[in-house]
Amino acid sequence: MTTAASPSLVAVDWGTSHLRVWLLDQDGRVLAEHRSDEGMGATAREQFHAVLERHLSEMGVPADIPVVMCGMVGARQGWVEAPYLAVPAALADIASKAVRIPGIARNVSIMPGLSKTDSDAPDVMRGEETQLLGLNRLAPVSGDRFVCMPGTHSKWAQIRDGTVVDFASFMTGEAYAVLSRHSVLRHSMSAEGVDPASPVFREAVRASLDSPADILARLFSIRPAGLLLDLEAADASARLSGYMIGQEVAGARARFELPDHVDLVGGEPLGTLYAEALKVAGINCDRYDSDALAIAGLTGAGAAPQRTGIDGHRPMEGQDT
């Protein structure tokens, strides 16, 4: 640590692929930060404690500083399973349902996820609920608000007066990765990122908004466009991205009565692609940094009491997310 400020809390966002650790003072300011690729997918259950303590040791964190975590670390395959809270769920109540890790000296707890048990459209989220809590702390809004959270499994959430009343997940990022790397479309793709200013991207978004029903035909058309019409690789990638993100926005419109303004959580470059897609759809947005929201949510959770697991075992069974 290079600051004289006193550490108060360690905030951890432990996802499937990445680990982010922030040492915070009592005002939520970041004193030190560690990032690594030691996500849940690369960490065995018996290794979580050692991985965390190694990072804390390298950051010089005293043993009496509590740790609050969110993300896939609380999934079935994670360190200790933190139960889901069914929506509607008040954001102010989420922190009090955090589960403390039993059997270790340090006070370490994991935030719960959210679930929707609708038989026609069941759904779960882990990690995003903490960002929503942070959004509600930093920029509270009365009445309805809609939040778009791009990612491997993008989330759209409806919040009413601080309560998550509904949400939906879209496999947009994962589908793009599979199609661009493992399908016939891989022969057409560029290794470079998609330019948000690309007119091809915007045209593809518009096509999905106007005609979502034929998405599978439009996806295949990318390959013959390269073979027969000399579609360049960069434009093929932009078209695929535009089709997929446009399809997601069309799906969100079908599920929710979206207003002409949403909150968008995401950095570069994905956040800019979504902002452009929303603009094509006639939707304005305020953008928020996902790390800042996670820190704000975990900071708010730090003072709340936690539930305690039993003898190091998972508190309950749940879904894989």
Q: For 128-163, how does the pLDDT look when each residue is reduced to its tens digit (9 = 90+)? A: 999 999 999 999 999 999 999 999 999 999 999 999
Residue 2 has pLDDT above 50, yes or no: no
Residue 308 has pLDDT above 60, yes or no: no
Residues 6+ apart with CB under 8 A from 42: 17
Q: Which of 121-130, 169-178, 279-288, 312-321 has the lowest mean pLDDT?
A: 312-321
Answer whether 7-141+292-308 and 169-291 agree in fold. Answer: yes
Neighbours of 133 (CB within 10 A): 27
- Coil/strand/helix, residue 213: helix
Give residue 305's pLDDT: 55
Give residue 319's pLDDT: 35
CATH architecture, domain defined by 169-291: 2-Layer Sandwich (3.30)
Rounded to two decimals, what is the model's pTM? 0.90
Q: How far apart are CA 25 and CA 27, in angstroms?
A: 5
Residue 268 has pLDDT above 90, yes or no: no
Residue type, 27: D
- The domain spans of the chain are 7-141+292-308, 169-291
Cα-to-chain-centroid distance, residue 221: 30
CB 69 within 8 A of CB 109: yes
Average pLDDT, the chain: 92
CB 205 within 8 A of CB 170: no
The CATH number that domain 7-141+292-308 falls under is 3.30.420.300
